[in-house]
């Protein structure tokens, strides 16, 4: 049974993912990256990153506020650096920062504790299966007509192994929906 929605969802507000802020190959020492992020709500956030040797600074400007985060980097096995922000509330190194609806600052998901949760935590098994199917369809759709396809064909340029993983997720969601349908039919048959 799904939980009652008494908490905010982490996805309800802006989300900052360092992997998207620091493009592949751009996370080198001495780099300055500035980007303007616009969200569906119309809110605009300016992110300025100043990177140095295994450290740096992330500065966010939004709604007349400025918030700063320390950045640290770990070397990757095959070269390059993996960047993390230090959460101001927990001190943890994190890759994603959230600001749920109504909050005035960004922090890691751990900092929000029981006050916020992921949207999927409020869904029952049927809702999660429908959500999974929609996510797979959105990832594979590309330029195709959404009404034309139940499961879109492999997009050009996508590896077959990747496409097969998406198809497996879609099939698992279908199986979950079928199992829930069988259980619902069994409950109805008991009543007769």
Q: Which of 117, 140, 171 is the last residue of a domain?
A: 117
> Which pair of structure tokens corresponds to residue 40?
């569906």
Neighbours of 97 (CB within 10 A): 24
Q: How far apart are CA 192 and CA 190, in angstroms?
A: 5
Q: How far apart are CA 90 and CA 72, in angstroms?
A: 15
Neighbours of 60 (CB within 10 A): 20
61-111 per-position pLDDT tens digit: 998 999 999 999 888 888 778 889 999 999 999 999 999 888 889 999 999
Element containing residue 181 per DSSP (H, E): helix 160-191
Q: Which of 117, 133, 164 is the last residue of a domain?
A: 117
Could you tell me if residue 74 is inside a domain? Answer: yes
**How many independent structural domains does the chain possess?**
2
Could you tell me if residue 95 is inside a domain? Answer: yes
Q: How far apart are CA 151 and CA 173, in angstroms?
A: 12
Does 36 share its domain with 106? yes
Task: Name the DSSP letter for residue 28.
Answer: -
**pLDDT interval class at 147 (50, 70, 90):** confident
For the whole model, what pTM was predicted?
0.71
Domain extent at residue 147: 123-191
CB 67 within 8 A of CB 106: yes
Does 15 share its domain with 103? yes
**Which residue is listed with tokens 């295994």?**
54
Q: How far apart are CA 170 and CA 165, in angstroms?
A: 9
151-177 per-position pLDDT tens digit: 888 888 899 999 999 999 999 999 999
Could you tell me if residue 2 is inside a domain? Answer: no
Could you tell me if residue 3 is inside a domain? Answer: no
Could you tell me if residue 22 is inside a domain? Answer: yes
Could you tell me if residue 182 is inside a domain? Answer: yes
**Which residue is listed with tokens 């199992």?**
179
Does 39 share its domain with 73? yes
Does 106 share its domain with 129? no
| Dihedral angle computed from the Cα positions of residues 144, 146, 150 and 154, in that order, rounded to the nearest 10 degrees | 20
Q: Which of 117, 150, 169 is the last residue of a domain?
A: 117
Does 161 share its domain with 140? yes
Does 56 share its domain with 29? yes
Does 160 share its domain with 101? no
Q: How far apart are CA 13 and CA 185, in angstroms?
A: 39
Distances in whole angstroms, Cα of residue 186 to Cα of each of 1, 159, 176, 190, 192: 18, 41, 15, 6, 10
């Amino acid at each position: 049974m799904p939980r009652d929605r008494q908490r905010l969802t982490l996805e309800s507000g802006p989300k900052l993912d360092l992997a998207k802020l620091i493009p592949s190959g751009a996370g080198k020492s001495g780099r300055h990256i500035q980007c303007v992020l616009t969200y569906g709500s119309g809110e605009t956030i300016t992110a300025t990153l100043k990177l140095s040797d295994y450290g740096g600074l992330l500065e966010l400007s939004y709604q007349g506020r400025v918030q700063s985060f320390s950045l640290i980097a770990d070397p990757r096995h095959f070269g390059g650096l993996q960047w993390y922000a230090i959460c101001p509330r927990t001190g943890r190194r994190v890759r994603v920062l959230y600001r749920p609806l109504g909050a005035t600052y960004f922090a890691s998901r751990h900092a929000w504790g029981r006050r916020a949760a992921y949207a999927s935590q409020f869904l029952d098994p049927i809702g999660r299966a429908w959500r999974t199917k929609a996510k797979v369809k959105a990832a594979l759709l590309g330029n195709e007509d959404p009404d034309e396809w139940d499961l879109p064909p492999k997009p050009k340029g996508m590896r077959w192994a990747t496409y097969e993983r998406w198809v497996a997720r879609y099939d698992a969601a279908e199986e979950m929906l079928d199992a829930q349908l069988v259980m619902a039919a069994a409950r109805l048959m008991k009543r007769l």
